[in-house]
Amino acid sequence: MIQTADIVVVGGGCMGASIALHLAEKQAGKILLLEQKDLANGASGKGIGIIRTHYTHPTLAKLAYQSLLRFHHFSERYGGYESGFNPCGYYILVGEADIQTLASIVEQHRSFGINVSSVDPQQVKVAVPSLYIEDVAAAAYEPDSGYGSPPMTTLAFAQRAIELGVKVCTQTPVTAINLDVEGRIEAVVTPQGTIATRTVVDCVGAWARQFTADVDLPFPVTPVVEHVVVAERPIKLAAPHPVVSDLVNLCYLRSDADQPYTRIGNSDPKYHSQFFLDDANQFTGQIFPDICETLQHKLMHRMPGLSEGKITQTYSGMWGVTPDYQPIIDRLEHVPGLYCAIGFSGHGYKLSPIIGDLMSRFIMGESDERVESLKLFRYSRFQENDLVKAPLSYSQARGLR
Ligand SMILES: Cc1cc2nc3c(=O)[nH]c(=O)nc-3n(C[C@H](O)[C@H](O)[C@H](O)COP(=O)(O)OP(=O)(O)OC[C@H]3O[C@@H](n4cnc5c(N)ncnc54)[C@H](O)[C@@H]3O)c2cc1C
């Protein structure tokens, strides 16, 4: 049976669900959200969920700030649904080489209205006694940041979207995009039937390369396995601690709210190429033991008291990473009717509320300064050799910050 839709959003992660919801809020017509498996099947089901505004690129910092404000008022803004946001505070720790960069970024962010301040490492030690800070030369603190639950947020967006009339179809993979004789989108094909539509929003994350292969649109998005190690803190360290971005040892960590667990992930780009996959469907939750051991060492270094606790779990998720670690958000001129919001690498969750809003406005043909700011993430930047580059960068973290 052929159905019709004004807009088909493909991919039921935080990004697809947010875009579908924001389109529905703007009464963009009949909207379908199609997910090949269950909602939050991809990165959004495994993300560690850190929400902070610290970015070296001013556009990203401003977007993250707009998102942070939404996380603070999530349930009022999105129909009473919850994101699991815990504003437990966020520290960024840097070494000698990055003292000036951190100070400049803090000053810039304060000029954007972001609540952030430089703090002496000794003050960090007083606030979070479990941290080892002898190798930390400078630090900054965002009291309003923290972490949320990516799967809960995805479900919240989807539930609100359904209330506003979006039809959400899980277990519905899009297997082909059909074009008319002029090369414009005319339908998407699923095992359940063909859906006639003129507008498709590609939010398939790490599956980006295969999704548009048939319409000859190559996306430079590589699926990457990302590991998380979870340690149980001993009783004397059981109280939750703030989120920490450790740019000395290139890792990030946060505690859980309801259990004395600390989660740590890698932010050292030198490891990523070891975990590249040829195809997103090769992801099975595989674990590479060497990186887990490295993460465990990093954790014990930063929180030495955890050597008295135990590792309770190691798991992995999968991101879609681009050459500059930044997303591709655009209208694809090669395939009229196709939009994309993919390749968010390791930092898409925190941006999902604002990207959903701006992307829906972009699709509706609206334009203002913030919608225009999305041009930074245009598809053509790879051909133009004009990758996203921050005016300031940290010595080791490169494009990741
Ligand atoms: C371990 C880990 C830690 C992270 N930590 C953070 C963090 O601290 N902070 C942060 O902001 N971000 C973090 N991220 C990144 C963040 O999770 C992602 O950027 C974000 O979830 C991307 O959302 P998405 O909707 O674009 O993609 P995804 O969540 O991957 O969703 C894509 C969806 O598309 C579906 N799909 C694919 N092909 C098809 C098809 N043909 N038809 C229908 N459906 C299809 C998939 O099944 C999937 O559900 C982390 C990620 C991981 C893995």
311 and 234 inside one domain = yes
238 and 120 inside one domain = yes
Provide the 10 A C-beta neighbour count for residue 311. 15
Question: Separation of 245 CA from ligand 1 center, angstroms?
Answer: 21
242 and 332 inside one domain = no
Residue 13 lies in a domain: yes
* Block residue for tokens 């810039």: 108
Residue located nearest, by CA, to atom 25 of ligand 1? 13
Question: Can you tell me which atom of ligand 1 is nearest the CA of 345?
Answer: 19
Is 14 near ligand 1, meaning CB less than 6 Å away? yes
Distance CA 242, CA 375 (A): 34
Which of 290, 321, 352 is the last residue before a domain boundary?
A: 321
Task: Kindly state the tokens that stand for 237.
Answer: 């360290």
Question: Separation of 328 CA from ligand 1 center, angstroms?
Answer: 14
- What is the DSSP-derived secondary structure letter of residue 276? B
Ligand 1: which of 347, 350, 352 to mutate, most ligand atoms within 8 Å of CB?
347
Distance CA 124, CA 142 (A): 12
292 in Cβ contact with 314 (< 8 Å): yes
CA angle in degrees (0–180, nearest 5) for 229-233-236: 165
238 and 312 inside one domain = yes
Residue located nearest, by CA, to atom 52 of ligand 1? 47
Kindly give the interhelix angle for 352-363 and 58-72, rounded to the nearest 10 degrees.
110
Question: Separation of 391 CA from ligand 1 center, angstroms?
Answer: 28
Distance CA 400, CA 351 (A): 15
Amino acid 308: pLDDT: 78
170 in Cβ contact with 12 (< 8 Å): yes
Arithmetic mean of pLDDT over the chain: 96
230 and 141 inside one domain = yes
236 and 207 inside one domain = no
Question: Separation of 162 CA from ligand 1 center, angstroms?
Answer: 20
Mean pLDDT per 10-residue section of the chain, whose length is 401 residues: 90 98 98 98 97 97 98 98 98 97 97 98 97 98 98 98 98 98 97 97 97 93 96 94 97 95 92 91 95 95 90 96 96 96 96 98 96 97 94 78 67
Residue 83 lies in a domain: no
Which of 265, 295, 321 is the last residue before a domain boundary?
A: 321
Provide the 10 A C-beta neighbour count for residue 132. 13
Is 337 near ligand 1, meaning CB less than 6 Å away? no
Is 146 near ligand 1, meaning CB less than 6 Å away? no
Provide the 10 A C-beta neighbour count for residue 59. 17
Amino acid 391: pLDDT: 87
Task: Kindly state the tokens that stand for 211.
Answer: 């999704």
Amino acid 201: pLDDT: 98
Ligand 1: which of 21, 35, 39, 60 to mutate, most ligand atoms within 8 Å of CB?
35
Task: Kindly state the tokens that stand for 112.
Answer: 């954007």
Amino acid 398: pLDDT: 64
Q: In sequence order, what are the residues at sequence separation of 6 or more whose Cβ sits closer than 8 angstroms to the Cβ of residue 38?
A: 12, 170, 171
Question: Separation of 149 CA from ligand 1 center, angstroms?
Answer: 13
Is 171 near ligand 1, meaning CB less than 6 Å away? no
Question: Can you tell me which atom of ligand 1 is nearest the CA of 206?
Answer: 30
Is 150 near ligand 1, meaning CB less than 6 Å away? yes
Residue 237 lies in a domain: yes
Question: Separation of 43 CA from ligand 1 center, angstroms?
Answer: 3
Question: Separation of 69 CA from ligand 1 center, angstroms?
Answer: 22
Which of 321, 353, 375 is the last residue before a domain boundary?
A: 321
243 and 317 inside one domain = yes
Question: Separation of 384 CA from ligand 1 center, angstroms?
Answer: 27
Residue 51 lies in a domain: no
Task: State the CATH number of the domain containing residue 272.
Answer: 3.30.9.10
Is 325 near ligand 1, meaning CB less than 6 Å away? no
100 and 158 inside one domain = no
Is 110 near ligand 1, meaning CB less than 6 Å away? no
Question: Can you tell me which atom of ligand 1 is nearest the CA of 45?
Answer: 29
Amino acid 401: pLDDT: 67
Question: Separation of 318 CA from ligand 1 center, angstroms?
Answer: 7
Q: In sequence order, what are the residues at sequence separation of 6 or more whose Cβ sits closer than 8 angstroms to the Cβ of residue 385?
A: none
Residue 155 lies in a domain: yes
119 and 229 inside one domain = yes
173 and 259 inside one domain = no
237 and 307 inside one domain = yes
- Closest of 90, 34, 59, 400 to residue 226, by C-alpha: 400
Task: State the CATH number of the domain containing residue 209.
Answer: 3.50.50.60
What's the total number of domains in the chain? 2
State the residue range of the domain holding 377. 3-46+151-221+324-400
Q: In sequence order, what are the residues at sequence separation of 6 or more whose Cβ sits closer than 8 angstroms to the Cβ of residue 250?
A: 266, 267, 268, 298, 396, 397
7 and 123 inside one domain = no
